[in-house]
Chains A and B, each alone.
Chain A
Amino acid sequence: MSLVLPIPLVQVLQAATIAAAAPGVSGVIAKVEARMQGRAGPRVLQPYYDLGKLFRKEALAPDGASWVFLAAPLGAMTCYLTVPLLIPVLTTFGLPLGYMGDILGGGFILALASFLVAVAALETGSPYAQLGASRAKTFGAITEPVILFVVFTVALITGTDLPYALAATVRSSASQIVRPAHLLAAAALFMVILYETGRIPVETHTGTNEFGMIEEARPFEHSGPYFALLKWGSAMKQLILYTILLNVFVAPWGLASSAQAGAVLLAIVALVGKACGLGVIVATIDNTFAKLRLFKITEFASAAFLLAVLGVFTLYLGGG
């Protein structure tokens, strides 16, 4: 196919793909999880219907909450739409805005979104939302060193910390994939993603049990379109993190190497397919392991930290 898309359109498509596909990926994970438990499960498209229903509903704010409460979902959504511009979602080559920030820059924007949601949760005065916000920040501080060491590994392997550079290095030869540092960093990142998306060893994703809640407790007081934005945002965050793991670390194949319409379309299909594949793995973990007690989450984080630190050790000695 010879139709060549304009580069800015490809750039917009990166964010649009993430926004449009994220609820679908969540739906697939929920469906697979239910099937594994022998339930029929919700429709794959159920998250879209949920969002549609919420967008038609009335928005309420608790007494005394300031404008921050209503602005936070919009701010968080803006952050989640910005990050896909920085990471290789569809293309192997860096798009013009792709060099605005490196992996750390993307991490900061994701952290900003999480901070905004936490501030909004504090605005409500509701104990559960505040508890969730405080827990999310506490455990976020524990997983932060893991992310840093993963970035160090990337920096040592490629000499830069641009996500496009690592994806290109991984694609360059098979020996880059099986080197221990790469495997350790990818495993550590996967564990952090399980934490960040609120999956089983850390948090029950769909549960309504307040005692174990972290991320899920924060939007308790939001309603209507604002709640929809928060739910959509957390689905997008999940797909963004999956994209980073897949397209940068584990499987950077199927990306478009040019702006041809066919290649870009194929890249969209490949991304959704790979994300659903990863989702099946996550759902399997969800159904296999028990949730850790809240105070055992540090052990989970320390295991991820161990993997990331070992990755840097092996690289430092030139053998990773």
Chain B
Amino acid sequence: MAVAAAVAPPGVFSGSANVIAVGVLLLEFGMFRQALLRDQVRLYAAQSALISVLAVVVAAARHLPDLYALAGLSFALKVVLVPLVLRRLLRGLGERGGGPGWTDIAGSGSLSLANTVLLAIGVAAFGVFSIAALGLRSPVLPATALSISVAVILVAFVLMITRRDVASQAIGFFSLENGVSLTSLVVAAGMPLILEIAFLFDLLVAALVFGLLIRVHHGRADSLSTAELTSLRG
């Protein structure tokens, strides 16, 4: 039976870019249900690894050798160094906090998980369809990957807003940066390498600052929950 495909499958480059973008978005959604800080950091590392793979794909498809260097650097920083720094900074909180549950960030969501996911689907739909409404059509631009990267940024905001623990908020911020990297790789692959590297080191500084903030907060409140902060109100 001969069937005319209504929506033809995309080519190899945009196809793989789209698959990677969808994978990044799914990992972002996965962060909603993680109950342990260690797993949350691991998901972030996996997401960053996907971004590095995309950088390699773009480098190969567009013949941009710079991007191989960027892919390597982003892998070293985001998959290895940032998770390492976070783990080092958060190690030992348990003994002082008086229990092994220091990494337990379960139940810090202000909505139930199913509701959060529905809300995030709605927000992601807004991102996807507002980019689609711009009508960007170009043979070298995978429109789906672009709009999904915007959805990743918005869903990262939802993660930061709905989770009431400092750790998830920090991870939400870092994964937001992943969404921005995804966007820049898809739209402006030829962006000067020095700019990209500056962004990456920015992220390293952010990881240090967030790690210290988490430590200070834990030292004062003996928990990772931001609910304690309401007592600061005069």
Contacts and interface: CB of A to CB of B under 8 A. Distances in A.
Given A156-B7, A157-B6, A302-B113, A310 B26 contact: yes
B73 interface: no
B145 A302 contact: no
Interface string A161-190: 000110011001101101111011000000
B32 to A, nearest CB: 9
A168 B3 contact: yes
B15 A178 contact: yes
A71 to B, nearest CB: 37
Nearest to A187: B26
A176 B144 contact: no
A158 B6 contact: yes
Give the interface size class of chain A.
Answer: 35 or more
B37 interface: no
B114 A314 contact: no
Given A180-B18, A316-B132, A158 B147 contact: no
Give the interface size class of chain B.
Answer: 35 or more
B33 A299 contact: yes
Interface in A302-316: 302-303, 305-307, 309-310, 313-316
Contacts of B113: 298-299, 302
B198 interface: no
B128 A306 contact: no
19 contacts: A93-B1, A156-B7, A165-B1, A165-B3, A168-B3, A179-B9, A179-B10, A181-B7, A184-B22, A299-B33, A299-B113, A310-B25, A314-B148, A316-B132, A317-B144, A318-B143, A319-B18, A319-B142, A320-B9
Interface string B139-164: 00011110110010000000000000
B229 interface: no
Interface of A: 92-94, 155-160, 164-165, 168-169, 172-173, 175-176, 178-181, 183-184, 298-299, 301-303, 305-307, 309-310, 313-320
Interface stretch (B98-106, B117-125, B206-214): B117-125
Contacts of B148: 313-314
Nearest to A156: B7
